[in-house]
Every structure is written in structure tokens, then in C-alpha cells.
């Protein structure tokens, strides 16, 4: 018998049972009803493929909300490839922006590390000193109310 229980679907998809349950709770895959005979849930044949799709989309940086949209597009016969391409382009733009931000952080950390003597009392640590933000004085003194 080729019953597709949650454990078999998880194994075929290369994930744990809790991942399958998590995707069910998030509405990314449908939880099938319990079987009337044995009480087990029998999953559709394409469930493992859906889970692999979700995992691959996550690897590409898509959020669960974005993956939900991709899954909807995937099952909508009116969807055009341009719709999917647009979402991928949006994700690429976001990733490019994050990479630029991470490069700035990398450069700043390199500069901090290069300026640090690497020894001495913590009170004179140039890295801690650079990270501390002094309290800003208020721009306008508070006026007394009458």
C-alpha cells in the first residue's frame, strides 16, 4: 500500500514532520482530513513537490508570505510568466539592496577592527567607544507651562 502519511511525505520532501505541520499552519499546504479507516491523514501525491518548492523558494530568499503568493500564481491558470518574473525581479532588487547594506557594515567593521589595539582595559576599547551613541541634547529647551 502506498499511503502518503505525514512521515512519508516529510521523508520524500527531505524535511521533518514538524516542517510539514508548520507549512500546514501557515496555509502553504493543505492538511488533508483524517482517513475514516485508520485515522491517518493521507496526503495528495503532489504534497512533497509543494514542500520542495517552498524550501527552494526560501533558499532564494522569498518570505513565507511571498511564497504563498507564488503558490497562488502557480495554481492560477490565468497567471502569466511575467507575473512570476516581476516577483523575482522585486526579490532581486531587495537582495541587491541588502548586499549593499551588508558591504557597508563589513567596511565599517573592518575599520573598527583595524583601529582596535586588541588589548588593554575595556574602558578604552575603541570598538565599544565607536558603538556607543552619546545622548542627544534636546533641540529646544522645554518651556514651563503656566
Q: What is the pLDDT of residues 3-38, one digit of tens each?
A: 689 999 999 999 999 999 999 999 999 988 887 776
Structural domain ending residue among the three candidates 45, 61, 79: 79
User: If you write DSSP's letter for every residue of 86-109 in order, what string do you get?
Assistant: HHHHHHHHHHHHHHHHHHHHHHHH
Of the pLDDT bands very low, low, confident and very high (cuts 50, 70, 90), residue 140 is low
- Whether 104 is covered by a domain: the verdict is yes
Query: Are 100 and 36 found together in one domain?
Result: no
Using the predicted structure, report yes or no on whether residue 85 has a pLDDT greater than 90.
yes
Domain tally for the chain? Answer: 2
CATH number where 45 lies: 1.10.1660.10
Mean pLDDT (the chain) is 88
Are 43 and 1 found together in one domain?
yes
4, 75: one domain: yes
pLDDT at 129: 84
Q: Are 41 and 31 in contact (CB under 8 A)?
A: yes
Q: Are 44 and 87 in contact (CB under 8 A)?
A: no
Any domain includes 86: yes
Instruction: Kindly report whether the global pTM for this prediction surpasses the value 0.85.
Output: no
Amino acid at each position: 500500500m502506498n499511503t502518503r502519511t505525514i512521515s512519508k511525505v516529510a521523508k520524500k520532501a527531505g524535511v521533518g514532520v514538524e516542517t510539514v505541520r508548520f507549512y500546514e499552519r501557515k496555509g502553504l499546504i493543505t492538511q488533508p482530513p483524517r482517513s475514516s479507516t485508520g485515522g491517518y491523514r493521507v496526503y495528495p501525491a503532489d504534497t512533497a513537490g509543494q514542500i520542495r518548492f517552498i524550501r527552494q523558494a526560501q533558499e532564494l530568499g522569498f518570505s513565507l508570505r511571498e511564497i504563498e503568493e507564488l503558490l497562488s500564481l502557480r495554481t492560477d491558470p490565468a497567471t502569466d510568466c511575467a507575473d512570476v518574473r516581476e516577483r523575482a525581479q522585486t526579490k532581486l532588487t531587495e537582495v541587491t539592496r541588502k548586499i549593499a547594506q551588508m558591504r557597508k557594515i563589513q567596511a565599517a567593521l573592518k575599520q573598527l577592527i583595524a583601529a582596535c589595539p586588541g588589548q588593554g582595559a575595556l574602558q578604552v576599547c575603541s570598538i565599544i567607544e565607536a558603538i556607543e551613541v552619546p545622548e542627544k541634547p534636546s533641540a529646544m529647551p522645554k518651556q514651563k507651562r503656566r
